[in-house]
Amino acid sequence: MAFLEARGVCKGFGPRDQPAQRTEVLRDINLELERGEFLAIVGYSGAGKTTLISMLAGLTLPDQGTITLNGKPIRGPGPERGVVFQNYSLLPWLSVFENVMLAVDQVFKAKTQAEKRAHVERYVAMVNLSHAIDKKPAELSGGMRQRVSLARALAMEPEVLLLDEPLGALDALTRATLQDELARICQVSGKTILLITNDVDEGILLGDRIIPLGMGPAATLGPSIAVTLARPRDRKALNHEDTFKSLRGRVIEYLLGEGRKQVKKPRASAEPVASSLASAPARGSEVTP
């Protein structure tokens, strides 16, 4: 049995007794994540990636199917699953130290205050924010705020880290910098990680394995593709590697081909997305425009 596993998971929204008003977001999701593995799921915006993360985190329950962690059913949130969202989710009146301490206080009640302080400082240092530990979120850049969110999740010492497009709101240069930081932190922490992203290159750069998620409604996962590139990975060198180009091509081919056949109705955004993807090998791999 896999460490984190989903079997036959389906999720929809709207009244079940009125099919015309109900949207099936995800259908027949089967997923396995091994301990210590970094898995990236890449797909279109609106396909149900956040819904999938929410179910894995226990924030919402599937309509059908089962989700287990270490053989135990997930029926709600728990400290063994740390989540980092795209929108930072920091309390603006608290400092970096205090935002991280909130999580530490909840998870490590038996620690002394001195132990908790040392624990917080360790993870703030891990994300290179020791110099800003007393600053409030308003005094930080978007990239720094996301580092605080990551430090808070890591400080809980979860068994698995769930990342819901954590770099999606950042500009390209900041995103690239934090991708490298995230790769470093993941190597240091050795955590089991599942990343949701709409950036194919990001998934390949960071993941041990990458799975495309087709377009919705009723989106489902495509083939699992092993990322055999050696670590550490140099983003500049990757662009010239045949293996990287092949991996990118396989993911994009699925998203533009089989992954689009799941659509029941034409959507207004379908053509711009396809155009963006079609040109991705030449100018990047954002799945959405």
Query: What is the tens place of the pLDDT at every residue in 196-255?
Result: 999 999 999 999 999 999 998 899 999 999 999 999 898 889 989 999 999 999 999 999
Q: Is the pLDDT of residue 284 over 80?
A: no
Is the CB of residue 89 less than 8 Å from the CB of residue 101?
no
Q: What is the pLDDT of residue 273?
A: 38
Is the CB of residue 128 less than 8 Å from the CB of residue 150?
no
Return the structure tokens found at 130.
């020791």
Q: Is 235 exposed, middle or buried (0-12, 13-18, 19+ CB in 10 A)?
A: middle
Band the pLDDT of 189: cuts 50, 70, 90.
Answer: confident
Q: Is the pLDDT of residue 20 over 80?
A: no
Model pTM?
0.86
Band the pLDDT of 262: cuts 50, 70, 90.
Answer: low
Strand partners, 192: 160
Phi, psi angles (nearest 5°) of residue 191: -75, 155
Residue 98 CB neighbours (<10 A): 16
Domains and CATH numbers, the chain: 33-55+161-283 (3.40.50), 88-157 (no CATH)
Return the structure tokens found at 32.
């396995």
**pLDDT, greater one: 39 or 191:** 39
Check whether the bond before 79 is cis (ω within 30° of 0): no
Mean of the per-residue pLDDT values of the chain: 87
Dmax (CA) for the chain in angstroms is: 58
Of 72-81, 198-207, 255-264, where does mean pLDDT reach its minimum?
255-264
Band the pLDDT of 148: cuts 50, 70, 90.
Answer: very high
Return the structure tokens found at 277.
């993807």
Q: What is the pLDDT of residue 89?
A: 87
Check whether the bond before 217 is cis (ω within 30° of 0): yes
pLDDT (average), residues 18-35: 89
Q: What DSSP line would sit under the chain, residue for residue?
A: --SEEEEEEEEEES-TT-GGG-EEEEEEEEEEE-TT-EEEEEE-TTSSHHHHHHHHHTSS--SEEEEEETTEE--S--TTEEEE-TT----TTS-HHHHHHHHHHHH-TTS-HHHHHHHHHHHHHHTT-GGGTT--GGGS-HHHHHHHHHHHHHHT--SEEEEESTTTTS-HHHHHHHHHHHHHHHHHH--EEEEEESBHHHHHHH-SEEEEE--SSSB-B---EE----SS--HHHHTT-HHHHHHHHHHHHHHHTGGGTT-SS--TTHHHHHHHHHTHHHH--BS--
Of 12-26, 28-42, 213-227, 256-270, where does mean pLDDT reach its minimum?
256-270
Is the CB of residue 252 less than 8 Å from the CB of residue 200?
yes
pLDDT (average), residues 74-85: 93
Q: Listing from the earlier edge strand, what are the strands of the sheet with 225-226?
A: 81-84, 160-164, 192-197, 38-43, 209-213, 225-226
Best-predicted range by mean pLDDT (122-126, 171-175, 282-286): 122-126
